[in-house]
Amino acid sequence: MIDQATELRKLVLRSMRERSAIAGPQPRLMVLGGGKGGVGVTTLAVNLSVGLAEQGARVVIVDADLYRSDVAVLCGVTEKESVVDVFVARRDIHEVLQRGPAGIQVVPGLWAPGEQADCSETAQERLLRQFRTLGPHADLVVLDVGSGSSAFVRRFCSAADDVLLVTTPDSISVMDTYARIKSSMTGIGKTTLSLIVNQCSDPVQAADVHRRIDQSCHRFLGMRVLLLGQLPEDPHVRSAAGEAVPFVLGAPTSPAARGVQRMAAQLWGSLQETLSKIA
């Protein structure tokens, strides 16, 4: 009975904190995903988060890939509680945050063997409410959803302010990216949809990939896709991952790091404009 009473008090306190925090400013929600695995979604989510923090943004990165949980590893963070604890209301999001590189805060993903995430609509809404409570502490919540196309992913894309899709110039990757937009992102309203072309040889190639995806989306879905930037193939990316250090910190002058820094500066500039209009 004592344990039950303790858990009930915790739930009441979390609910009170949640209602109080939602009343204040809310962080911008940015979702990163890909049309297929292996295109570098998590690597880019982590490094963009660090790049934005270096620009001055207060960033929380959430590992919401229900099939793989690599964010904590790439950030050099020891996995304890995870996003699943927030889904099932064992913890609120403030209790699972961990300090990551460059001052970002990390919510680890599905890490416990055999653990199952509750992906019901109620759980999804709970997590979105928890994101809103981060306003006093974060300007931006970066959500890594991996390459899935479930109802869970569609819900968070529709709730996001920005969706960044990662692709490569490979024809299959391009087709999978279009298919991902068609299945998960139609009807997302005012959400800004942007493309990052990874492992790309030059700007001309990136522009061609963007043109093909944007034209198909405009013609068949009535949507427009922006081009955020490109990243070259760079050996520093793999070596930094092996050392559990974001490459923007481990090799800040490398070509890939320069590309991330440019995208982070563009995103932060846009976010500051938005914040100034709200203030």
Digit-coded pLDDT (tens) for 168-218: 999 999 999 999 999 888 877 778 999 999 999 899 999 999 999 999 999
Predicted confidence (pLDDT) per residue in 217-260, tens digit: 999 999 999 999 999 999 999 899 888 899 999 999 999 999 99
Report which residue type is found at 178: Y
Listed by start position, the domains of the chain span: 2-278
pLDDT at 8: 53
Predicted confidence (pLDDT) per residue in 39-65, tens digit: 999 999 999 999 999 999 999 999 998
Q: How many CA atoms lie within 13 A of 225 on its CB side?
A: 33
Under CATH, what is the fold of the domain 2-278? Rossmann fold (3.40.50)
pLDDT at 249: 97
Distance CA 198, CA 34 (A): 11
Q: Over pLDDT 70: what percentage of the chain? A: 87
Dump the DSSP string for 253-275. TSHHHHHHHHHHHHHHHHHHHHH
Bridge partners of 141, per DSSP, are 29, 60
Question: Which candidate, 39, 30, 71, places its Cα nearest to that of 198?
Answer: 39
Helices assigned H by DSSP within 79-194: 83-87, 93-96, 121-132, 151-159, 171-184
